[in-house]
């Protein structure tokens, strides 16, 4: 069923009510003032268990982007505050689905994949925006899976049991090659845009054609941030 997710989020108390480290505050935008309305981890687990219990037995499914990172935290939360050694739901990882559907995409991180699909993730690393974005990614992947004749949980399990293809040959960028190959060999400013027209990056060059195309050539000396950016770029504007 393809519906926009209804997101429930909480500020969670720090262990021993310690203040938030400055680095985490900069990363998330959450301040110590926000924690005045924080709830205990035990309350969060209780609310989550209540929500899970309300679901039909066959729909107790947790969709996560990059579950290898998230599952240990969820498991520890239920072990410590929910008196359970196993999670009360099945999990599906949208990252693993994307690995198989888009084997040559430069990046399949949540921000890169969202941008590739025309969505935007807020700059701050906040759980609510990640949940909303994961829901949108899941709905898109459901459509792609249907195109591959994967329409039920057994077929999906068989699909995910297959070893994903290794990246073969050139990386597949969403930007049409002719848009960068036909740029003028002149000085100027270039802007990289995503599907919704948002400017992702601005640069300047003595040769627009040479500089822009250098972003898309080779893999050496490119960081994960570079691949994340280029996975989202669908248009180039120059002055």
Dist CA 64 CA 66 (whole Å):
6
Residues of the chain with pLDDT under 70: 1-5, 123-124, 167-169
Question: How far separated are the first and last CA of the chain, in Å rounded?
Answer: 45
CA nearest 103: which of 40, 169, 12, 44? 169
Q: Given this model, what pLDDT does residue 1 score? A: 47
Residues 6 or more apart in contact with residue 236 via CB below 8 angstroms: 175, 179, 180, 183, 190, 191, 192, 193, 212
Q: Taking the CA of residue 150 as centre, how many other CA atoms within 13 Å lie in the half-sphere pointing to its CB?
A: 17
Alpha-carbon distance 55 to 159, whole Å?
A: 25
Q: Which pLDDT belongs to residue 47?
A: 93
The pLDDT of residue 4: 62
Residue 28: the pLDDT is: 85
Residue 3: per-residue pLDDT = 60
CA-CA distance, 56 to 128, in Å (whole number)?
A: 24
Whose CA is closest to 156, among 87, 90, 92? Answer: 92
DSSP 238: E
- What stretches of the chain show up as alpha helix (H) in DSSP? 22-28, 41-53, 67-81, 94-101, 110-116, 127-147, 153-161, 177-181, 208-215, 224-232
DSSP string, 97-164: HHHHH-TT-S--SHHHHHHHTT----SS--HHHHHHHHHHHHHHHHHHHHHTT--SHHHHHHHHHSPP
Q: Record the tokens describing residue 19, joined without a space.
A: 């203040």
**What does the pLDDT look like over 176-190, one tens digit per residue?**
999 999 999 999 999
Give the span between the Cα atoms of 77 and 44, in whole angstroms.
Answer: 9
Q: What is the pLDDT of residue 124?
A: 61
């Amino acid at each position: 069923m393809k519906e926009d997710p209804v997101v429930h989020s909480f500020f969670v108390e720090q262990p021993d009510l310690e203040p938030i480290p400055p680095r985490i505050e900069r990363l998330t935008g959450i301040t110590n003032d926000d924690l005045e309305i924080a709830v205990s981890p035990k309350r969060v687990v209780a609310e989550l268990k209540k929500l899970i219990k309300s679901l039909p037995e066959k729909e107790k499914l947790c969709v996560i982007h990059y579950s290898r990172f998230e599952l240990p935290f969820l498991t520890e939360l239920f072990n410590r505050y929910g008196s359970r050694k196993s999670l009360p739901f099945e999990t599906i990882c949208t990252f693993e689905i994307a690995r198989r559907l888009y084997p040559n995409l430069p990046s399949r991180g949540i921000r890169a994949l969202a941008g590739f699909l025309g969505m935007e993730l807020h700059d701050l690393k906040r759980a609510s925006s990640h949940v909303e974005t994961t829901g949108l990614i899941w709905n898109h992947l459901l459509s792609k899976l249907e195109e591959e004749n994967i329409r039920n949980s057994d077929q999906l399990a068989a699909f995910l049991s297959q070893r994903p293809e290794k990246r073969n040959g050139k990386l597949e960028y969403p930007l049409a090659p002719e848009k960068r190959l036909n740029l003028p060999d002149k000085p100027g400013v270039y802007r990289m845009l995503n599907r919704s027209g948002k400017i992702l990056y601005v640069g300047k060059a003595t040769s627009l054609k040479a500089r822009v195309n250098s972003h898309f050539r080779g893999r050496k000396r490119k960081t994960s941030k570079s691949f994340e950016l280029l996975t989202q770029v669908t248009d180039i504007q120059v002055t």
